[in-house]
Structure 1
Amino acid sequence: MPKLPRISVSVKAAVLHDDHLLLLSYDDSDDGGDYHYNLPGGKAQEGEPLRDAVVRKVLEETGLHVRAVRELFVVEYVPGVFGFDLGPDHKTQHNFLAEITDGNTAARMCEPRDPMQRGVEWIPLADLPAKHLLPVKGQHILDALADKPGRDVLVDRW
């Protein structure tokens, strides 16, 4: 019987407000990377339901109170398929639509701050295709928000 994989589970939130999407910006060019954006989120804790993890991670990273509305899609990283670029662990990233629950849209950077993080920005949805998101999923976000028929809910490339 094959060995069961170690799987790292994380969550991300597509937080919308007035046709804008909340993104975190990062510059990791000193580490060989580049300027890019991420949705707020991170690893789920052991035993933590995914919706609860979304609420916790958005609050920690942006100070915003949200609720997870629905799952949009899943991004999967399989180490052997991707040349072990992101390490030996199989990873799944569950991307949710989230809505602000208290009307406060004044997002802030987390404390302690990630040294590579540059900001928290509300980006117009129309500008999303031009932004460098990691993993690359800008069109998947737009398709999921539009509930595009026939879209694949599993993004099997990082």
Structure 2
Amino acid sequence: MTLPRISVSVKSAILHDDQVLLLSYDDHSGFHYNLPGGKAQEGESLRDAVRRKVQQETGLDVTVDRLLLVTEYVPATWNDEFGTVQKTQFTFLSHPLGGTTPRFQDPPDPIQIGFEWTPIGKLTEVYLLPRINEPLIAALHGRLSDPFIDRW
């Protein structure tokens, strides 16, 4: 039996003054926002992956708090809309240590446009990928009964 290839990634909902840091992108999916994060490396804990990816993508150092969401992407369910690799994403609440002014990575990501501190209440108005706006808001307010999201 061959084991399936599954990508494991982390995201960080960095919270500061009731605002969440979003990264803006323009790519094949069009203009959208993402939370900072990316793939975990083999042998790396998920919290360590959050700290590393946030530092790489924003220059910010963070403390990693609680797990907010687990999001699953099964390609066949979504007609391969976001690729052919199955994905599992763990989203953690984080808080900045020190500064709150993000910077672009070096070298810059060619599809990243900018950064935006977005009030929690305005998260429903942005195109966030994966599409976790409502569960993210509920999780940030401690009102999410099931942290498992099976829609991308």
**Which shows bigger deviation, 77-86 or 13-22?**
77-86
Among 79, 104, 110, the residue aligned to 1:83: 79
Q: How many residues align?
A: 152
What is the Cα-based RMSD across aligned positions, in Å?
A: 1.3
Provide, for residues 31-80 of structure 1, a one-character-per-residue CA deviation record: whole Å limited to 9, x for no partner: 3x211100000000111100000000000000000021011011101122
- The answer for the alignment partner of 2:121 in structure 1 is 126
State which drifts further: 90-99 or 80-89. 80-89
Match of 2:45 among 43, 49, 56: 49
Q: Give the fraction of aligned pairs with identical amino acids, expressed as a percent.
A: 54
Could you tell me whether the CA contact under 8 Å between 1:5 and 1:89 is conserved in 2?
no
Residues 1:157 and 2:151 aligned together = yes
Using the TM superposition, give the Cα deviation of residue 85 of structure 1 relative to its aligned residue in structure 2, in angstroms: 2.5
**Residue type at the aligned position of 1:130:** E
Inter-partner Cα distance in structure 1 for 2:116 and 2:105: 13
Looking at structure 1, the residues matched to 91 and 128 of structure 2 have their Cα atoms a distance apart, in angstroms, of 13
Alignment of 1:1-158 (within 5 A): 3-28=2-27, 31=28, 33-101=29-97, 103-148=98-143, 151-158=145-152
Runs of 4+ in 1 over 3 A off after TM superposition: none
Return the TM-score normalized by structure 1: 0.91
Q: Return 5+ residue gaps in structure 2 as ranges.
A: none
Task: Structure 1: give runs of 5+ residues left out of the alignment.
Answer: none
